[in-house]
Amino acid sequence: MPRVAMLVALVSTRIRIAMQLKRWDTTMSTDAHSIASQLNNSGLLRTQGLIGGKWRDAYDGKTIKVYNPATGESIADVACMGGRETNDAISSAFDAYRSWSKITASERSKLLRKWFDLLTAHKEELAQLITLEQGKPLKESLGEISYGAAFIEFASEEAKRIYGDIIPAPLSDRRLFVLKQPVGVVGAITPWNFPLAMITRKVGPALACGCTVVIKPSELTPLTALAAAELSIQAGIPAGVVNVVMGNAPDIGDALIASPQVRKITFTGSTAVGKKLMAGSAETVKKVSLELGGNAPCIVFDDADLDVAVKGTLAAKFRNSGQTCVCANRILVQEGIYDKFANALLDAVQSMKVGDGFSEGVSQGPLINEAAVKKVESLIHDATSKGAKVILGGKRHSLGSTFYEPTVITDVDNEMDISRQEAFGPVAPLLRFKTEEDAIRIANDTNAGLGSYVFTNSIPRSWRVAEALEYGLVGVNEGVISTEVAPFGGVKQSGLGREGSKYGMDEYLEIKYVCMGNMNKD
């Protein structure tokens, strides 16, 4: 390269890096600046959207701030996109679909494997980014990177196992075939509580099947999505196959559901928003997968192993500060073990360390924002006004910001608001029940049907209760049940479809029947 060209390239690179660093708010803490510098050096600090393989600002130049929930500090200004940018991303994905869907499954598998390798190689930086913008403890963030990357690895393997069928024909001169083909362009709308895993769980199988995607991450946590997209480019996934737009959620959502070029919407989030997406998708008859709200019961029977039950309940309830769709929302305890379990849970919760996710030994970080704290406060106020008793916590933490004390409430009943709504916070409400039939009735008395948990040492009871629970997921003597190899999804108003496992692949495929006649003639 000529010397002048080298100097121009060097100056351009320095300008680009300076512009990226300028986006980071000067009021951040030293630790945040250090993390920003590391991410910038690795090329993972992205604040623009990705459309057609190019990083782009919002067309009107608008930006939105991303905050660290542990400190309230501004982390970055990212592009605030809307309908125009989304329509261009859709067009890019539609154009890329023509070639991506035609390459061999083996080639798609190799590219996904490279993406998985890069996600794994950069797990420390990605985990730091999650903790910075979402707040969960660093150990949990590292766990999310492994969990999220596993969906890409699994999809890379399943890409080569999308099989059709040959059907025995009723007539000798005919041959009947079933082909599985990609559905087309996919709009993937993801939440803030798992900013990597909720993307990879959707995008991995979509790409493996031959679909292209337009990702809309939460405006609260877009940086992890953008970093993951950068790694997809480094893996060699072609331009336009993966697109990311963020900012004005209603405008982006409207563009995705209105476009006839988008053939599928996959969404994780609230039931209320899911219903709107489902209704909007009817106009163009899109395929829809919805993973919506939950109201998970955690049933502890008299014959349960107390240590196993407490450990499992802690994991099911307090992971990510209670901010997961499968968190135990109601803890149903049989009367014979109720007091003993309440005391044991109280002891365990008291030992939990609350703090900034980067601090050593922290097991619970902040809630995502002020609105989340106010919701928890409202639910606790309703419960205590109706006779429930707070035996631990029940108020904002002395750390300030959006930290909330891990809380245990007793004497809760199934008619209180905290039993009818997702708390999405570190609150463990204990309900008392008498018989197995009572437990099943109370557990199923909800419009939700996502996650559920059962603790018992009786094998016959575990089968009976698991079959009777109206939920898509049942954990027996286990509080952490999500895995890339098993189907994840709910029933009733908790959603449609499944993610993960071989069953999740089918959500991105169409079945085509081919009848070939005159097979006995030359």
**Residues with active-site annotation:** 291
Left if phi > 0, otherwise alpha if psi is -120 to 50, otherwise beta: which for 20? Answer: alpha
Query: Tell me, what amino acid is at 301?
Result: F
Name the residue with tokens 């708010």. 25
Q: Three-class SS of residue 14?
A: helix
Which tokens belong to 448? 């939700």
Q: Are 333 and 431 in contact (CB under 8 A)?
A: yes
CA of 385: how far to CAs of 379, 381, 394, 418, 432, in Å? 10, 6, 13, 12, 18
Q: Are 294 and 450 in contact (CB under 8 A)?
A: yes
**Counting every residue, how long is the chain?**
522
Q: What is the 3-state secondary structure (H, E, C) of 342-389?
A: HHHHHHHHHCCCECCCCCCCCCECCCCCHHHHHHHHHHHHHHHHCCCE
Which tokens belong to 323? 């901010």
Give pairs for 355-361: CB < 8 Å, separation 24+. Answer: 355/399, 355/403, 356/70, 356/71, 357/70, 357/131, 357/135, 357/136, 357/137, 357/138, 357/140, 357/141, 358/31, 358/128, 358/131, 358/138
Q: Are 101 and 182 in contact (CB under 8 A)?
A: yes
Which tokens belong to 83? 């309908």
Give CA–CA dist 398/354, Å, rounded.
10
Q: Three-class SS of residue 496?
A: strand
